[in-house]
Amino acid sequence: MTADLLFQVQQLHARVAHLLDEGRFDEWPECFSEDGVYVVQSRENHARGLPLALIHLEGRAMLKDRVFGATDTIYHHPYSQRHLIGTPLLLGHDGSTLHVDTPYLVLRTPRDRLPEVLSVGRYVDRLVHDGSRWRIGSRHCLYDNDLVPNSLIYPI
């Protein structure tokens, strides 16, 4: 494990967050592998091995469908998101697969209101290298706050 590897992971994380925070949702599924998995689950359910998750998407088609729902069909009060992402803790590496664990904080700012914590927790990521770049093979967003202010509309 080297500084170069951390650099590559951090740039991937930064890009994913940037796309979500700037509302470029259409580009978000491309950060995942074709069969990429995206799960949002409470810390407690994950710890107990319970399957219930707030969001569970498998494959880019489902990711795209979610984005379509969030941007075109769900009625909601407008808000913007901002991700602060911690240093990825590098846990395992076997060439084309990398396991990292990363704290995150997502702030939500509704129009004309003060910012609030939307979600805080950690990303448990399996990253895969396809020969040219790293993509997310699976991401489990394990949130600490069971109580979510309002709803999660956009991915976190």
Among 46, 66, 122, 140, binds a copy of itself (CB under 8 A): 122
Least distance to a copy of itself from the beta carbon of 19, Å?
Answer: 10
Least distance to a copy of itself from the beta carbon of 56, Å?
Answer: 22
Q: Is-contact 10 88, C-beta < 8 A? A: yes
Instruction: Give the DSSP H/E element, type plus range, for residue 55.
Output: strand 55-58
The single residue listed with the structure tokens 């991401």 is 139
Q: Is-contact 59 34, C-beta < 8 A? A: yes
The interface region with a copy of itself, picked from 32-40, 51-59, 64-72, 97-105 by CB under 8 A, is: 97-105
Q: Which of residues 56-85 bind a copy of itself (CB under 8 A)?
A: 80, 82-85
Does 10 sit near a copy of itself (CB under 8 A)? yes
| The two three-digit tokens of residue 119, written as one number | 């979600």
The single residue listed with the structure tokens 């590496």 is 93
Does 53 sit near a copy of itself (CB under 8 A)? no
Does 101 sit near a copy of itself (CB under 8 A)? yes
Least distance to a copy of itself from the beta carbon of 63, Å?
Answer: 21
Residues 2 and 42: their CA atoms lie apart, in Å, by 32
Sign of CA dihedral 96, 31, 76, 21: positive
Does 21 sit near a copy of itself (CB under 8 A)? yes
Residues 140 and 64: their CA atoms lie apart, in Å, by 17
Instruction: Give the DSSP H/E element, type plus range, for residue 100.
Output: strand 97-110
Site size for a copy of itself (CB under 8 A): 45
Binding region for a copy of itself (CB under 8 A): 1-4, 6-7, 10-11, 13-15, 17-18, 21, 43, 80, 82-90, 101, 103, 105, 107, 109, 111-117, 120-122, 144-147, 149
